[in-house]
Amino acid sequence: MKLLNVPEFLSFEGTAIAIDVRSPLEFEQGHIPGALSFPLFSNAERAEIGTLYKKSGQRQAILRGLEIIGPKMRPMAEQMLRLAKDKALYIHCWRGGMRSQSVAMLAGQLGIPCFVLKGGYKAYRNSVLEGLSAPLKYTVLTGFTGSGKTKILQKLRDFGAQVMDLEGLANHLGSSFGGIGQEEQPSTEYFQNLCFTEIQKWDLTKLIWIEDESAFIGNCFLPTEMYRNMQNANWVQIILPLEERIAFITEVYGYLPKEEISQAIQRIQKRLGPAQTQAALAACEENDVQKCVEILLQYYDKHYQKSIAKKDIAKGIRLEYTRLNFDEIAQDLSELKEKLWIKYD
């Protein structure tokens, strides 16, 4: 059994099998992307041992743990043999303590090469927060609602740019309407882990494109320092005619059930005001998606104007278009590279 630091442990992808021996509830809250849940104790068993540790001390907790594990050892051993095959096992628990070490010991007795994460998942999370808080070379793509920023960034990625798709990782398109038609959101902890995994793939001396977001993307929130770095980063604003934006939003949301659209409108009725709320709900009920979007954009545009006014003009570049052509805009952004480098220097 060999201890690995976080960067060494994260090299498992494609070469080894990473297993997380924490309880299912701990795994669900957040885990290392790519790791498999391999719980030593169930949620109830972990809670029981924790209570026993507090009331009766470490020795009694260990004895109870051994009593629970005993009947599980053969099934666990067989499962590890199936998982490992000709690969090593990279094992971790919360702090790199008894849970991971005991599983590693069993793996070693089976002849399976195994490695344990030093400091456990806690050390990994510290690395995540440290990595996301670093002052990376972000370039923020901003623009009024309906400017197609996410699709532009996806095209930019096709051109070889380093792009962090926050909305894709969060399974949410932003705003009150962003969760409609999307898969269930990850926990904030796992969302942040996914962001960190993206960063590990990149050359951090080069630009990283990222969409202008609030601190919260649905129920997922960005670490404070990461959000502050985004707010202080260089930015490029895409400016499009209102009719182009309305057409794009209508295309994106027009097929969605009007009941869900109505619920989303009602969630922001305090900010919309009674008149705009009723007008938007009426348009939705009449299946007039274009009119509904036009009404809602009056609110979202006012909100965006306040947001863009806070940005440092010296760090920004504005690009104006008469139509929303993703390939054309992405091509222009890729050619801005030299100008953006000067801003960083």
In single-letter form, the type of residue at position 17 comes to I
Rounded Cα gap, residues 135 and 195, in angstroms: 15
Helix (H) or strand (E) holding 182: none
Catalytic residue among 93, 114, 284, 292: 93
Alpha carbon distance 225, 134 (integer Å): 8
Beta bridge partners of 234: 139
- Size (the chain), residues: 345
CA-nearest of 28, 1, 31, 5 to 197 is: 31
Quick check: 249 and 180 in contact, CB under 8 A? no
Closest by Cα among 178, 214, 215, 157 to 334: 157
- List CB contacts of 59: < 8 A, sequence separation 6 or more: none
Q: End-to-end distance of the chain based on CA atoms, in angstroms?
A: 46
- Active-site annotation holds for 284: no
Q: How far is CA 193 from the centre of its chain?
A: 7
Catalytic residues: 93
